[in-house]
Amino acid sequence: TVQADFTKTHALTHLGPFDGLLFANSLHFVRDKLAVLRGWAPLLRAGGTLLIIEYNASRGNWAVPHPFRDTTCLQLLTDVGMHGAQIVNREPSSFLGEIYTATAIKTGS
């Protein structure tokens, strides 16, 4: 078990490569999601899966300060070099309307 700040990926590089990465209800606490994902993507092995579960909202609140829409998520995954980005599930949420699950695969080496 490792306890660390997931936004400080430079401190975690010794842990990879990973078969998969899961960001579940975590990226909505971060303003610069692209920077966080750019830090983690290199730690994913070729063929590995990146999975994001988030609220499908553009306006936050005290508990979810920086949510982002599914379309933004797909673009972020593409921007960090992931392939086949897609929304694989949607669930209603009484809190912010909807929660989505997005996934993509790392290709190459």
Contact 33/68 with Cβ under 8 angstroms?
A: yes
pLDDT in tens, the chain (109 residues): 677 888 988 777 788 899 999 999 999 999 999 999 999 999 999 999 999 999 999 999 999 999 999 999 999 999 999 999 999 999 999 889 999 999 999 997 6
The model's pTM: 0.93
The full set of domains in the chain, from first to last, is 17-106 (3.40.50.150)
* Closest by Cα among 72, 106, 75, 70 to 88: 70
